[in-house]
């Protein structure tokens, strides 16, 4: 575990940054990632010229993966570090209320906390061939905590949210688009061009127009409250401490959780196998 | 009218039951059906091992049909019997808040109260070739009461809900999926396999994960309140007592309502004919 | 600027009217249009036999265009005339709460206030080949005011509303259907027949059924409050008075705003060009 940068910021212009997430070997979300995100949001909020940020991944197979579970409770000694359970809701609230527009460009797997991070972004565009979304928690005796249920309930409606949350399976970009939890599925070969053009377009508009637009949409469409997010995070913590969840976690670890290989690549299918045992 | 079982319960395992609805000749919803549903929900709530129930039909043409109108106000002398107008809202509330997940596997027509029953289930998967959904009430001088307006407003949005409620026409599974009021349309040949695999997957997960997931989705996405459902049911009762509704009902009866034949099979089209008279 | 009729009312029957909008050269929304709409809604509310009105356009290229900006603050001396900023919210409220069902049949461009008018109708059906929807305001240093944000947040969800509002680009009917802000995209050759058949079907049903259906859907799905609409209109007014918006407006005028030609026909693309300057 090092403190090297997991977020590589590419400043395309004063108004448009790309943030490239890179955390080998599995692009897991970990406390060091969270610390860097907290530093980033601080910078974003202070910058008066920035208008749009695009989150993408250096790993073609994983946009962003689940928690690095073993280190989940670590609070490292570095700028921005904070307890995930208590402070993730605050980060989501800041990102969704920021005057800067955030876009997740999803190629590869967005799983559990990684899916929830994508949902916390203002907009999502995904590769038709290479994006996969899953809230795997229910397959491991747990329950999603980081905001997934909040955003999916609003974007996909009750019945599809139940399918995603309780089924813990993979959903590709076409279904994600039909279910309404991404803006659009795009052919992989067009994804980069499309998102880049869209970001540059936004970057060329007046910041006060973008900010007013986002504020009013937030007011009308609603965003999950910090209290709702906080509550879900604590239900996750409570469910995770159950013997059943501990047992399921052991089985998943034995099956290959946390190691680059078949289990991590095909966890949607593999959780079905485990369930049938 | 007999008290033979209309609901045939097939216990695939302790965790997964299939409930097969069979009420010849037209699979109408009637007071005997409602009584059995009330007995079923009692059983479901008491069972600590059950995780998922799938509702399906023994009649390939009708998943579940409209009320057996002539008997609608009957309260039979049997376990679970209750007045539809006063107690349907309570049943919907219990089903949607139960820790058990409910799935409607829709093949054939889901009409009026039958459509509203499907909507009261947590999730819906439907046959691309053989499912049809209609709230026929407006075509008969009436208005939907059993929860259809509540669920459709949430799942399909105001404009599409207005089209379905006021247009009283048939919608196939593809449009149902696009409008968001079913989870997914599937080729008829894959429907059984898909739903069975999904139910077995859920049945293999921890009950406390499924329950927590459903509770939080319910809290975030919302479910119609018993009061809203009760109110709509009483508006239906009031509108139904109007001379126009009585007249429309007579015309529909003369045209073939309640008899297996063209009118019942193609009621969406036929109501358009009647309207044009 | 004349006071000739911009709204041509074709009474297909006592129950079904078509309203054809015609305001050459660009089908802009102007104070004279608004005055006629106010007279129309008064008539609609008083008529006890009317059940459905269909709004369409005499101009194949423009369903309804943005404000005639230069005249936006004019209050002409004619029946129904009223200040747009103060009274548009009241019109939207009356239309959406009227017992009569309103349908926008969209062929050609629906832009800014013209898009917002279409959204204020109860239902929308659009030509797959020839409809285009855009809230162009953010591309001109402004922000949508006339209800667009309110309706889109409810129908398309937060992330897609943000894309439409902040991106200020054109969306065709297929995406409009997928995003949920029109009922359905139809081949241009079927649009007239489809909408006419649907309107005649509604016109054949009992008015009390349609009215009860609409009232309950409104209660359950919600409609934007007059206060929310009023607030958004005033944010628009405030943002429009900024130097940046004034400057953007001058650039757009120089580029061809208000004149029939490339800029008006392809404003989605052109605003991207302007932005990149």
Over range B270-275, report the average pLDDT. 79
A157: nearest CA partner in chain C: C157
Q: pLDDT of A95-153, one tens digit each?
A: 999 999 999 999 999 999 999 999 999 999 999 999 999 999 999 999 999 999 999 99
Q: pLDDT of B87-127, one tens digit each?
A: 999 999 999 999 999 999 999 999 999 999 999 999 999 99
- On the question of pLDDT at C9 being above 50, the answer is yes
Q: What is the DSSP string of A150-193?
A: HHHHHHHHHHHHHHHHHH---EEHHHHHHHTSSSEEE-HHHHHH
Domain count, chain C: 1
Q: pLDDT of A158-168, one tens digit each?
A: 999 999 999 99
Say how many residues make up chain C.
277
Over range B200-217, report the average pLDDT. 97
pLDDT band at A277 (very low <50, low <70, confident <90, very high): very low
Considering only residues B158 and C276, tell me which one the structure prediction assigns the higher pLDDT. B158
Counting other chains too, the contacts that C72-80 makes at CB distance below 8 Å and 24 or more residues apart are C72/C30, C72/C31, C74/C30, C74/C31, C75/C31, C76/C3, C76/C31, C76/C32, C76/C35, C78/C3, C78/C32, C78/C35, C79/C35, C79/C39, C80/C34, C80/C35, C80/C36, C80/C37, C80/C38, C80/C39, C80/C42
B217 CB burial (10 A radius; 0-12, 13-18, 19+): buried
Phi and psi, residue B11, nearest 5°: -85, 95
Q: Which among A124, A210, A220 has the least Cβ separation from residue C149?
A: A220
B157 vs A180: CA distance, rounded Å: 13
- On the question of pLDDT at C50 being above 50, the answer is yes
User: Which sign does the torsion angle of CA C149, C154, C159, C163 carry?
Assistant: negative
In a domain, residue A199? The reply is yes
Cross-strand bridge partners of residue B253: none
Mutation target for B interface from A162, A223, A235: give the one with most B CBs within 10 A.
A162
3-class SS string, C96-123: HHCCCEEEEEEEEEEECHHHHHHHHCCE
pLDDT band at B1 (very low <50, low <70, confident <90, very high): very low
In a domain, residue A216? The reply is no
Give the pair of three-digit tokens for residue A50: 């920035």
A28 vs C167: CA distance, rounded Å: 32
- Mean confidence (pLDDT) of chain A: 95
Mutation target for C interface from A122, A220, A222, A223: give the one with most C CBs within 10 A.
A220
Over range A260-272, report the average pLDDT. 94
Q: pLDDT of C211-260, one tens digit each?
A: 999 999 999 999 999 999 999 999 999 999 999 899 999 999 999 999 99
Distance from CA of B240 to the nearest CA of A (A): 31
Q: What is the pLDDT of residue A274?
A: 59
Give the pair of three-digit tokens for residue A49: 């010229």
| CB–CB contact C204 B239 (8 Å) | no
Give the pair of three-digit tokens for residue B138: 């407006």
Least confident of A2-11, A166-175, B66-75, C40-49: A2-11
Least confident of A196-205, B37-46, B242-251: B242-251
| CB–CB contact A209 C161 (8 Å) | no
Q: What is the pLDDT of residue B273?
A: 83
Q: At what angle do helices B207-221 and A226-240 cross, to 10 degrees?
A: 170
Cross-strand bridge partners of residue C57: C21
Nearest Cα to Cα of residue B174 among B113, B202, B133: B133
- Residues on chain B touching A153 (C-beta within 8 angstroms): 217, 220-221
Q: Which chains touch A (3 or more CB pairs under 8 A)?
A: B, C
Say how many residues make up chain A.
277
Helix segments in C2-138, DSSP class H: 31-46, 84-97, 113-120
In a domain, residue A135? The reply is yes
Over range A64-76, report the average pLDDT. 95
CATH code of the domain covering residue B127: 3.90.226.10
- On the question of pLDDT at A90 being above 90, the answer is yes
- Residues on chain A touching B16 (C-beta within 8 angstroms): none
Element (H, E) at B108: strand B101-111
Give me the percent of chain A exceeding a pLDDT of 70.
Answer: 97
Q: What is the pLDDT of residue A93?
A: 97
In a domain, residue B221? The reply is no
In a domain, residue B244? The reply is no
pLDDT band at C273 (very low <50, low <70, confident <90, very high): confident
Relative to beta strand A184-186, strand A123-134 is parallel
In a domain, residue B127? The reply is yes
- On the question of pLDDT at C62 being above 50, the answer is yes
Give me the percent of chain C exceeding a pLDDT of 90.
Answer: 95
Are A35 and A76 contacting, i.e. CB atoms less than 8 angstroms apart? yes
Counting one residue from chain A and one from chain B, the pairs whose CB atoms sit within 8 A come to: 107
In a domain, residue A236? The reply is no
- On the question of pLDDT at A276 being above 90, the answer is no
Q: What is the pLDDT of residue B275?
A: 56
Assign C185 to helix, strand or coil.
strand
Q: What is the pLDDT of residue B274?
A: 59
Cβ contacts of residue A227 below 8 Å, gap of 6+? A89
Are C114 and C65 contacting, i.e. CB atoms less than 8 angstroms apart? yes
Q: Which domain range does residue A145 map to?
A: 7-203
Q: What is the pLDDT of residue B3?
A: 52
Are C35 and C74 contacting, i.e. CB atoms less than 8 angstroms apart? no
Nearest Cα to Cα of residue C170 among C268, C99, C240, C248: C268
Over range C136-156, report the average pLDDT. 96
- Residues on chain A touching B217 (C-beta within 8 angstroms): 149, 152-153, 158, 161-162, 165
| Residue given tokens 């570090």 in the structure block | A81
B151: nearest CA partner in chain A: A158
| CB–CB contact C161 A222 (8 Å) | no
Q: pLDDT of B167-182, one tens digit each?
A: 999 999 999 999 999 9
User: Which sign does the torsion angle of CA B242, B246, B251, B255 carry?
Assistant: positive
Are C145 and C236 contacting, i.e. CB atoms less than 8 angstroms apart? yes
Q: pLDDT of B19-72, one tens digit each?
A: 999 999 999 999 999 999 999 999 999 999 999 999 999 999 999 999 998 999
Assign C132 to helix, strand or coil.
strand
Asked if ipTM goes beyond 0.90, one says: yes
Q: What share of chain C is helix, strand, coil (3-state, %, to 5)?
A: 55, 20, 30
- On the question of pLDDT at C1 being above 50, the answer is no
Q: What is the pTM for the complete model shown?
A: 0.97
In a domain, residue A245? The reply is no
Distance from CA of C154 to the nearest CA of B (A): 7
pLDDT band at A275 (very low <50, low <70, confident <90, very high): low
- On the question of pLDDT at C277 being above 70, the answer is no
Nearest Cα to Cα of residue C136 among C117, C154, C110, C108: C110
Q: What is the pLDDT of residue C113?
A: 98
């Amino acid at each position: 575990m090092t403190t090297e940068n997991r977020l590589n910021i590419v400043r395309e212009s004063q108004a448009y940054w790309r943030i490239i997430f890179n955390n080998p070997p599995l692009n897991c979300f970990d406390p060091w990632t969270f610390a860097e995100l907290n530093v980033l949001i601080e910078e974003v909020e202070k910058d008066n010229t920035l208008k749009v940020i695009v989150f993408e991944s250096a790993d073609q197979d994983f946009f962003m993966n689940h928690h690095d579970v073993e280190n989940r409770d670590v609070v490292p000694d570095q700028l921005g570090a904070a307890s995930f359970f208590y402070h993730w809701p605050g980060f989501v609230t800041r990102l969704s209320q920021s005057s800067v527009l955030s876009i997740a460009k999803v190629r590869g797997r967005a799983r559990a906390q990684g899916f929830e991070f994508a949902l916390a972004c203002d907009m999502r565009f995904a590769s038709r061939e290479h994006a996969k979304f899953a809230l795997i928690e229910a397959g491991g005796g747990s329950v999603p905590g980081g905001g997934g249920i909040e955003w999916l309930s609003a974007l996909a409606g009750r019945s599809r949210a139940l399918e995603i949350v309780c089924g813990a399976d993979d959903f590709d970009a076409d279904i994600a688009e039909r279910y309404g939890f991404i803006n659009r599925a795009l052919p992989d070969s067009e994804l980069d061009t499309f998102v880049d053009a869209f970001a540059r377009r936004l970057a060329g508009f007046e910041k006060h127009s973008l900010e007013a637009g986002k504020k009013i949409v937030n007011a009308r469409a609603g965003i999950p409250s910090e209290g709702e997010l906080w509550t879900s995070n604590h239900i996750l913590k409570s469910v995770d401490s159950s013997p059943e969840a501990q047992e399921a976690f052991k089985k998943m670890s034995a099956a290959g959780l946390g190691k680059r290989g078949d289990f991590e690549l095909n966890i949607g299918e593999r959780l079905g196998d485990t369930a049938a045992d």
